[in-house]
């Protein structure tokens, strides 16, 4: 039986991206490969070509059942067996879009068969049945920090003694709704992203992604310390210019990382202002820490990014080699930005950070002691 005072740990973790599962994705990033391709922003309805990283064989236009279901089912098969969805082993499903591609298709086509997948509760219920879970499945949706919220909720429920283990599943798959939305904000455009690099204008890419983590008090090699949230509430799509939101969120992680040598896996979408603020805040909080971001290759996997990139960070720690920042050309925003791969053996932790609309921030320290 687990010691009630022992920390909650990550007992298993995995992800899928256009490169494959976590090890394949890590290997592709080490090779500097880019999964982004120029795709019409509205799928079959055309529009500007923008950088999107879609799962192999998947198009932006939704089907019934959704084109992403097979990939999530494959990911589900890699989740350790358990009585998931029972009171003792609850599930936390997180994302920012759920079946929004189905909703878009429903309205555009008038085909009512899209309806069942079109809302967060409906989509999650069908997924629950497909993956064979019991009914205790919470749904959290806070844009691009959603995965962090799931990890935090799961940790708290276990720490409170309300569950033995918990499963967090996060997914986000692209659609004309999502691509069109970011395109309307002009940050998804014809340019490919170059995270943490100076250039004339910012640009992001978007990507398909899903990840899972099993949290347990009794087993696991990895620990999430200093889990932290902060919401600036300054603007819907931009941050406070003084970077105070980044600093507030990192305060708790700095405490958790005291005395450790860490590297920093940032959010790094490719927007200029947010990139500069994040690099500055990370450098102040963790002097000397190499900063990396992988969305220049994978695209921004939105609500799932916190879990997808956690799985890659774990692969990096396991193999003692972290991929550098992948993306287009430009001068790095700071000497701290790691543009090449680097060994992680000399480090004893990685800070994983994500940001979202509304000036939302989330971060934690991943360590294996």
Q: Is 160 in the site for another protein (CB under 8 A)?
A: yes
Angle at 103 between CA 97 and CA 109, to 5 degrees: 145
DSSP conformation class of 7: P
- Crossing angle (nearest 10°) for helices 176-184 and 100-109: 100
Instruction: Decide if 269 contacts 197 (C-beta within 8 A).
Output: no
Nearer to another protein, 65 or 134 (CB): 134
Residue 210 CA, distance from chain mean position:
8
Q: Is 348 in the site for another protein (CB under 8 A)?
A: no
Nearer to another protein, 23 or 115 (CB): 115
Instruction: Decide if 187 contacts 285 (C-beta within 8 A).
Output: no
Compute the distance between CA of residue 81 and CA of residue 76 in angstroms, rounded to an integer.
10
- Pairing mode, strands 137-140 and 91-94: parallel
Compute the distance between CA of residue 124 and CA of residue 130 in angstroms, rounded to an integer.
10
Nearer to another protein, 66 or 327 (CB): 66
Q: Is 64 in the site for another protein (CB under 8 A)?
A: no
Q: Is 142 in the site for another protein (CB under 8 A)?
A: yes
Nearer to another protein, 138 or 334 (CB): 138
Span from 165-173, 178-186, 206-214, 272-280 in contact with another protein (CB under 8 A): 178-186
From the CB of 249, what's the least distance to another protein, in Å? 9
**Tokens of residue 17, six digits:** 């991206």
Residues 180-209 interacting with another protein (rule: CB under 8 A): 180-186
Max Cα separation, the chain?
Answer: 59
Instruction: Decide if 291 contacts 276 (C-beta within 8 A).
Output: no
Nearer to another protein, 34 or 204 (CB): 204
Q: Is 44 in the site for another protein (CB under 8 A)?
A: no
From the CB of 21, what's the least distance to another protein, in Å? 28
- Residue ranges that bind another protein, judged by CB under 8 A: 42, 45, 47, 86-87, 96, 103-104, 106-108, 112, 115, 118-122, 124-125, 134-143, 149, 153, 156-157, 159-160, 162, 176-177, 180-186, 229-237, 245, 248, 357-360
């Amino acid at each position: 039986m687990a010691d009630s005072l022992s920390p909650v740990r990550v007992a298993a973790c995995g992800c899928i991206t256009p490169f494959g599962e976590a090890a394949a994705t890590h290997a592709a990033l080490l090779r500097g490969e880019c999964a982004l391709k120029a795709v019409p922003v509205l799928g079959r309805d055309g529009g500007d070509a923008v950088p999107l990283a879609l799962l192999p064989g998947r198009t932006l236009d939704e089907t019934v059942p959704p084109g992403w279901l097979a990939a999530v089912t494959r990911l589900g098969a890699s989740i350790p067996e358990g009585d998931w969805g029972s009171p003792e082993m609850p599930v936390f499903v997180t994302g920012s879009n759920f079946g929004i591609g189905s909703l878009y298709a429903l309205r555009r086509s008038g085909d009512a068969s899209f309806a069942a997948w079109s809302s967060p509760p409906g989509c999650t219920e069908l997924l629950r049945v497909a993956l064979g879970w019991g009914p205790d499945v919470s749904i959290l949706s806070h844009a691009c920090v959603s995965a962090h919220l799931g990890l935090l909720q799961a940790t708290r429920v276990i720490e409170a003694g309300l569950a033995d283990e918990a499963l967090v599943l996060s997914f986000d798959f692209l659609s004309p709704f999502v691509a069109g939305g970011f395109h309307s904000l002009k940050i998804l455009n014809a340019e490919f992203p170059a995270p943490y690099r100076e250039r004339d204008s910012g640009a992001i890419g978007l990507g398909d992604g899903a990840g899972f983590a099993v949290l347990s008090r009794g087993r696991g090699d990895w620990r999430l310390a200093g889990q932290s949230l902060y919401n600036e509430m300054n603007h819907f799509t931009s941050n406070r210019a003084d970077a105070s939101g980044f600093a507030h969120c990192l305060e708790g992680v700095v405490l958790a990382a005291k005395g450790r040598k860490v590297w920093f896996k940032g959010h790094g979408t490719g927007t200029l202002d947010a990139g500069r603020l994040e690099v500055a805040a990370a450098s102040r909080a963790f002097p000397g820490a190499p900063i990396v971001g992988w969305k220049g290759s994978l695209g921004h996997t939105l609500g799932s990014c916190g879990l997808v990139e956690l799985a890659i960070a774990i692969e990096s720690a396991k193999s003692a080699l972290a991929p550098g920042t992948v993306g287009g050309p430009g001068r790095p925003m700071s000497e701290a930005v790691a543009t090449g791969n680097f060994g992680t053996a000399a480090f004893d932790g990685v800070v994983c950070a994500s940001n979202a609309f509304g000036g939302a921030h989330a971060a934690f320290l991943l360590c294996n002691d």
